[in-house]
Amino acid sequence: MTKKDIHVVGAVIIKENKILCAQRGASKLLPYKWEFPGGKIERNETPQEALKREVIEELNCEVSVNDQVEHTAYEYDFGIVHLSTYRCQLQKGEPVLIEHEAFKWLEKDELATLDWAAANRPTVKKLQST
């Protein structure tokens, strides 16, 4: 059986040299894993448009989307996640806990202290090496 391809985007929101890390809730797939906030790309949406919409929905704030950090595909039990992450800057508001269990603002050398969802790990490595 062919696994479903799931195309998602993640926001690497940087503020004062710290990166926003979000913890998934108990009722979500991959409960309590850490991720870069974001979500599925809808039909007729660019990755950048999807990211802006998802950040408003999940964090109740607005970002500008800059360069792509990483693209990775990771096969989970439920499907193959194709994750594109982008550097983002806060434009309006501060992140609010709506969808997530917790947030942390971490320096890039602190990112490895969290239990990241597997699809997010290549982005963590890339951020640590830059």
Hey, where are the domains in the chain?
A: 5-128
CA atoms of 68 and 48, how far apart (whole Å):
10
pLDDT at 87: 97
CA atoms of 70 and 16, how far apart (whole Å):
21
Highest mean pLDDT, choosing among 76-80, 83-87, 95-99: 83-87
Contact 33, 117 (CB under 8 A): yes
Contact 87, 69 (CB under 8 A): yes
pLDDT tier for residue 99 given thresholds of 50, 70 and 90:
confident
pLDDT at 75: 95
CA atoms of 73 and 98, how far apart (whole Å):
26
pLDDT tier for residue 1 given thresholds of 50, 70 and 90:
low
DSSP letter at 1 equals -
Per CATH, the homologous superfamily of domain 5-128 is Nucleoside Triphosphate Pyrophosphohydrolase (3.90.79.10)
The answer, yes or no, to whether residue 20 has pLDDT greater than 80, is yes
Please write the tens of the pLDDT for every residue from 25-65: 999 889 999 999 999 999 999 999 999 999 999 999 999 99
